[in-house]
Amino acid sequence: MSGLLQEEKVFKDPVHKYIYVQDQTIWNLINTKEFQRLRRIRQLGTCFLTFHGAEHSRFSHSLGVYEVTRKIISQFERNGYEDWPREERLLCLCAALLHDVGHGPFSHSIEKTFGTHHEEWSCRIVLGDTEVNRVLKEVSPTFPQKVAGVIAKTYNEEIVVSLVSSQLDADRMDYLLRDAYFTGVNYGMFDLERILRVMRPFQGHIVVKESGMHAVEDYLMSRYQMYWQVYFHPVTRSAEVILHKVFQRAKQLYEENYEFSFMLSPLLSLFRQTLSVDEYHLLDEAFMQTVLMQWSREADEVLSDLCSRFLNRRLFKYVMLEHIDVQQIERLRETMAGLGLDPAFYLEIDFPSDLSYDVYRPGEHDEKLPILLLDQRDTLTEISRKSEIVRSISGIHMGKYHLYFPEELLRAAPGALTEEQRKLLRLE
């Protein structure tokens, strides 16, 4: 069943115009139920509550990552670069397509509460008793293992891993363009075609010709802008905070043997941390939204209130904190408790940082592979050593603490808040 399709298949895509499928294996993977499930997982989690256009799914993004990878490889092949290991083509394409197949609904909040990890689930789906696994095994018995290796970044060919996961990988290139397109912000637009033209395989790395330095600067600036304008937008974070509180509360209730009026098996297994690959399949975003909707009618007032807030977009308000005064926060907790708002579920201090969303930090521990420039004398230099712009971005650490709290606090009776607290909450 592997090999080329008799006739190329084409998907219309708003970002890349068309997505071309030439391999039977890729076509079969797209048609597995595990890959189709990605249609039911939004790419940007709660971001649609800030940017209403951001309703696109991980399905679209995964096709996009595949397409960018296909374009890169096709350029490598057309140019006949000797350092490109041609035999790895299908492996790269499969890993690109499947790298997010383990993503669950609202990954951020669920992973934070239940300690799951989407990359691990991707590997479980690739290796488990799944349609995906069956398709991959048709290539060769060890092929699933190789794909899982690339996703887990343990595969021994750096060049393969770096196509899917590095500072300049197909994953980021697609999501920046796609998220910019669907949110409608212009910031994420960079010249993909130009970047592809300056990439080349070189001594086991994917590198960039020095003449393409400005194109990479532009791409990194897009990243910088998208992070602060879109990904770390405080309204999106506010929705994440509420979701996290929902799951925390539910977990607490479960542990206290609370009788949920609505409970379905995959949810139970999530609480028990015994999710099977089969049950994981049921756990899509439609499911989680139905759970939230049903729980918005639960007897437990904290749980039902938090769910309603999320569904009806009555999000927490926020203020930015220059620094954190622990005692001041403590006093606010007490005040809130006095007003009947349990601070464990109605107050949060959030610091926007996410390893996968760093702008660019070469050389740091546990970092993705850095971007290397190749000059005319075939010397490699890490980009921030040549580009002042990149150097200045790398050093930037713009995260600010935000305090999230319900709007009711702002409408509390006069005298309910101290003057210090009114200042903190920008009431005067």
Q: Contact residues for a copy of itself (CB under 8 A)? A: 10-15, 17-18, 31-33, 36, 39-40, 48, 51-53, 55-57, 59-60, 63, 181-187, 189-191, 193, 197, 214, 217-218, 221, 224-225, 228-229, 264, 282, 284-287, 289-290, 293-294, 308, 311-314, 388-389, 391-393, 395-396, 398
Residue 350's DSSP bridge partners are 402
How many CB atoms lie under 10 A from the CB of residue 66?
27
Q: Which is nearer to a copy of itself, 185 or 277 (CB)?
A: 185
Q: Which is nearer to a copy of itself, 324 or 396 (CB)?
A: 396
User: What is the residue type of 137?
Assistant: K
Structure tokens at 105: 């609904």
Q: Which is nearer to a copy of itself, 31 or 142 (CB)?
A: 31
Q: Which is nearer to a copy of itself, 63 or 425 (CB)?
A: 63
CA–CA dist 157, 155 (Å, integer): 6
Q: Which is nearer to a copy of itself, 221 or 339 (CB)?
A: 221
- Give the rounded distance of the alpha carbon of 170 from its chain centre: 14
Q: Which is nearer to a copy of itself, 252 or 289 (CB)?
A: 289
Is the CA virtual torsion 248, 179, 357, 207 positive or negative? Answer: positive
Smallest distance from the beta carbon of 354 to a copy of itself, in angstroms? Answer: 18
Q: Which of 137, 73, 141, 106 is nearest to 288 (CA)?
A: 106
- Strand runs labelled E in 290-393: 317-321, 348-350, 372-374, 380-382
Give Cα separations from 247 to 31, 53, 59, 166, 198 (angstroms): 32, 26, 25, 32, 45
Structure tokens at 62: 């995964």
Smallest distance from the beta carbon of 239 to a copy of itself, in angstroms? Answer: 12
Smallest distance from the beta carbon of 426 to a copy of itself, in angstroms? Answer: 9
Q: Which is nearer to a copy of itself, 53 or 343 (CB)?
A: 53
Smallest distance from the beta carbon of 52 to a copy of itself, in angstroms? Answer: 5
Smallest distance from the beta carbon of 87 to a copy of itself, in angstroms? Answer: 22
Q: Which is nearer to a copy of itself, 310 or 345 (CB)?
A: 310
Smallest distance from the beta carbon of 165 to a copy of itself, in angstroms? Answer: 23
**DSSP states of 161-208:** HHHHSSTT-HHHHHHHHHHHHHH--STT---HHHHHHHEEEETTEEEE
Smallest distance from the beta carbon of 99 to a copy of itself, in angstroms? Answer: 17
Q: Which is nearer to a copy of itself, 338 or 395 (CB)?
A: 395
Give Cα separations from 335 to 70, 241, 327, 340, 417 (angstroms): 57, 20, 12, 9, 7
Smallest distance from the beta carbon of 140 to a copy of itself, in angstroms? Answer: 25
* Per-residue exposure over 331-363, b if at least 16 CB sit within 10 Å of its own CB, e if not: ebbebbeebebebebbbbebebeeeeebbbbbe
Number of H helices and E strands in the chain, helices first, is 21, 9
Helix or strand or coil: residue 275? coil
Smallest distance from the beta carbon of 206 to a copy of itself, in angstroms? Answer: 20
Q: Which of 177, 162, 164, 160 is nearest to 218 (CA)?
A: 177
Helix boundaries (H) for 24-79: 24-30, 33-36, 58-79
